[in-house]
């Protein structure tokens, strides 16, 4: 699996994803202002683990998280499903007004954590308040 770094030639913002964003979230420059910086690959065993995890996704509750620079945010999500296995692609349902959506738009990346039946504490932590109001990851290793 490959990820790409894209640098805005106008302001230096770096986006991570398969493709550059439509516009720079920092300065508003168009997609054409982004230059490919470098790519990195997941180790083969890690890529295989990701593909195997995709096959196990069923209906349930998830934490979908993303980054914006040094900040990380996450939210509860119940819409996560596999689109393709090669390359591995997932689809998620995220409200456009949520901070997590904003982070995904800026960074081009997200992570999905599957919650179990005993994870009510995580549902309360990630599901009822906005990351704009407090750091949901504070105290989580």
Domain ranges of the chain: 1-41, 58-131
List the one residue out of 52, 57, 138 whose CA is nearest residue 92: 57
Pick the CATH number of 1-41 from 3.30.1330.30, 1.10.3720.10, 2.60.120.470, 2.20.28.10: 2.20.28.10
Token reading at 23: 């516009």
pLDDT in tens, 60-89: 899 999 999 999 999 999 999 888 777 778
Instruction: Give 55 or 112, the one with higher predicted confidence.
Output: 112
List the one residue out of 36, 106, 113, 21 whose CA is nearest residue 71: 106
Distances (CA, A) of 35 to 72, 83, 110, 135: 25, 28, 21, 32
Q: In the CATH hierarchy, which fold is given to the domain comprising 58-131?
A: Pnp Oxidase; Chain A (2.30.110)
Confidence check: pLDDT of 3 > 90: no
Distances (CA, A) of 71 to 4, 30, 90: 20, 24, 23
Confidence label for 117 from pLDDT (cuts 50, 70 and 90): confident
């Amino acid at each position: 699996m490959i990820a790409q770094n894209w640098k805005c030639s106008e302001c230096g913002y770096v986006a991570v994803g398969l493709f550059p964003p439509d516009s720079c979230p920092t300065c508003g420059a168009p997609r054409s202002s982004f230059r490919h910086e470098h790519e990195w690959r997941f180790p083969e065993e890690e890529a295989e683990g990701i593909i195997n995890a995709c096959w196990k996704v069923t209906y349930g509750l998830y934490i979908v998280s993303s980054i914006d620079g040094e900040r990380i945010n996450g939210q509860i999500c119940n819409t996560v499903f596999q689109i393709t296995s090669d390359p591995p692609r997932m689809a998620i349902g995220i409200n456009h007004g949520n901070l997590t959506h904003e982070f995904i738009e800026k960074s081009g990346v997200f992570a999905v954590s599957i919650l179990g039946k005993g994870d009510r504490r995580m549902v309360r932590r990630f599901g009822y308040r906005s990351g704009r109001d407090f750091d949901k990851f504070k105290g989580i290793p």
